[in-house]
Amino acid sequence: MGHMPEATVVVLGLQEARSHRLYWLELVIRPTVAQNSVFLFPNAGQLFCWCCLTSTEVDFASCATIHYLVFCVFLMKVDVLTIPSKRPGKPPLKRVSEVFDCWFESGSMPYAQSHYPFENKKEFEDAFPADFIAEGIDQTRGWFYTLLVLSTALFDKPPFKNLIVNGLVLASDGQKMSKRKKNYPDPMQVVHKFGADALRLYLTNSPVVRAESLRFKEEGVSDVLKDVFLPWYNAYRFLIQNVLRLERVSDSPIVVD
């Protein structure tokens, strides 16, 4: 892999590399191998390396070089671009250094959906704050956070009266369910095989309702069907069959008072 400086090199696997905070740098600099890349970082933090898993090509760059390419060259190219304003007499539009967090728009939902404060003032005031909102625990750093920050800044109160948080449903091995990995069963096949009620009870009786993670297993849904619904159904059928038999023997319908 070429000459390496005297440093201990830590090899990050593909999964870890994708979650690393510097992964987006590799996307900017080498988009052609972005889908098949791993990173190597020396403990000293002076070397940045990316390589293609399908070839022997390896590139090295210092952190200073990476910083220059991304933050200096990129901004130099963008800062010279201007967009003519559609408003007569106004100067052209150009890049500004101040940017909002990407979750800002979602945090504006209570106001944006009613076009408040430009219209629908009464409609907004009647519905704000919301009686409750519900989302996954991962929104603690996203939607919940920006909702609370904006509402506190604008109205000095939270945007909701109650917050219902559910946990995350993971694959059976504890990893995040992924369309790419196909590490989850088809939901409709689960419903057709075990029934929607068995699936509902399995989920509502799981750690998910306590904002904890659940490793989804079809065996768990099967156990609910076997241990709960089939005994209940058999007991119900036993009762109804005996009611019908009694009515035939007595030649008189049973009237429930």
Residue 83 C-alpha from the chain's centroid: 34
Are 131 and 151 part of one and the same domain?
yes
Same domain flag for 162 and 178: no
Distance in angstroms (rounded) separating the CA atoms of residues 127 and 21:
39
H/E segment holding residue 230:
helix 230-250
- 140 in a structural domain: yes
Q: Is residue 53 part of a domain?
A: no
Q: Answer left, alpha or beta for residue 2, where phi above 0 means left and psi between -120 and 50 means alpha.
A: left
Taking residue 110's Cβ as centre, other Cβ atoms within 10 Å add up to 21
231: in domain: yes
Is the pLDDT at 47 greater than 70? The verdict is no
User: What does each C-alpha distance from 29 to 21, 32, 77, 149, 239 come to in angstroms?
Assistant: 15, 9, 14, 34, 71
- Helix axis angle for 196-204 and 187-194, nearest 10°, is 110
Count of domains forming the chain:
2
Whether 23 is in a domain gets the answer no
Question: Is residue 26 predicted with pLDDT exceeding 60?
Answer: no
pLDDT of 55 above 90: no
> In the prediction, which pLDDT does 22 show?
43
pLDDT tens profile 179-233: 888 888 999 999 999 999 999 999 999 988 888 899 999 999 999 999 999 999 9
Q: pLDDT: is 245 or 100 the higher one?
A: 245
pLDDT of residue 73: 59
CB 145 within 8 A of CB 159: no
The predicted structure's pLDDT at residue 31: 43
CA distance 51 to 54: 9
End-to-end Cα distance, the chain: 86
Answer whether residue 56 shows pLDDT above 80: no
| pLDDT at residue 222, as a whole number | 94
Residue 107 near residue 124 (C-beta atoms within 8 A): no
**Same domain membership, residue 162 and residue 179:** no
Residues 233 and 184 in one domain: yes
Q: What percent of the chain has pLDDT over 70?
A: 69
Neighbour count for residue 224 (Cβ, 10 Å): 20
Contact 158, 148 (CB under 8 A): yes
* Residue 11 in domain: no
Residues 189 and 230 in one domain: yes
Would you say residue 190 lies in a domain?
A: yes
Percent of the chain at pLDDT > 90 equals 28
The alpha carbon of 1 is separated from its chain's Cα centroid by a whole number of angstroms, namely: 37
CA distance 137 to 164: 9
For 144-159, give one letter per residue: b (16+ CB within 10 A) or e.
Answer: bebbbebbeeeeeeeb
Tell which wins on pLDDT, 7 or 18: 18
Q: What is the pLDDT of residue 218?
A: 92
Q: How far is CA 106 from CA 11, 84, 149, 202, 244, in A?
A: 37, 28, 12, 31, 58
178 shares its domain with 162: no
- Establish if 36 belongs to a structural domain: no
Q: Is the pTM of this model over 0.85?
A: no
Domain boundary among 129, 146, 166: 166
Residue 8 within any structural domain of the chain? no
pLDDT for position 12: 36
Distances (CA, A) of 9 to 33, 45, 230, 250: 21, 10, 57, 87
- Domain limits at 209? 174-239
134-189 pLDDT, tens per residue? 888 888 888 888 999 999 999 999 999 898 888 889 888 888 888 888 888 999 99
Instruction: Give the model confidence (pLDDT) of 81-97 as tens digits.
Output: 777 888 888 888 887 77
At residue 225, the 3 state secondary structure works out as: helix
